[in-house]
Amino acid sequence: MPVISITRVRVRSWRFLPAFFLSVMRVGRQAAAAQGNLAVRIFADKHNTFWTATSWNSEAEMRAFMLAQPHGPAMRKLLNWCDESSLVRWTQAEATLPEWAVAHRRLIAEGRPSKVNYPTAAHTAHTPAPPKPPTRTSEIRIK
């Protein structure tokens, strides 16, 4: 059964955005080329918030991607770059990625916050804001 992974991060300052954008593009290309990857979507939401949705053949293939470069080193930078970060994973029968509103509901119900060095109150309470509807230019489908 495919594994679906959703992440939501909020970059805490505009000064981190150039490095963050570069990292997101590298990691997105890495994910699309990774063994076992079925789909990749990235969504630039309001207030420097970014969502990723990926689908994988297996948990093992997803974990191999997570630890490899450039994703592994980028995750460690998020500790300082972000003031909100959370994730959720689940298995389902099909590899189709969910709509962002569904991803948000599952993130709240089943997800968990990730460690950040400068958490907001919303991060600490695990109450991430709902996504705005994506536009043609705010969402990238890499695979």
Q: Where are the domains of the chain?
A: 3-141
Residues whose CB falls within 8 Å of the CB of residue 66, separated by 6 or more in sequence, listed in order: 72, 75
Q: Which amino acid is at 134?
A: P
Instruction: Specify the fold of 3-141.
Output: Alpha-Beta Plaits (3.30.70)
Q: What is the pTM of this model?
A: 0.95
Query: What 8-state DSSP symbol labels residue 15?
Result: G
CB atoms within 10 A of CB 90: 14
Element (H, E) at 31: helix 17-33
How would you write the pLDDT of the chain (143 residues) with one tens digit per residue? 999 999 999 999 999 999 999 999 999 999 999 999 999 999 999 999 999 999 999 999 999 999 999 998 999 999 999 999 999 999 999 999 999 999 999 999 999 999 999 999 999 999 999 999 888 888 888 87
Q: Which amino acid is at 39?
A: A
Contact between 113 and 88 under an 8 Å Cβ cutoff? The reply is no
Give first-to-last CA distance, the chain, whole Å: 19
Residue with token string 């919303």: 122
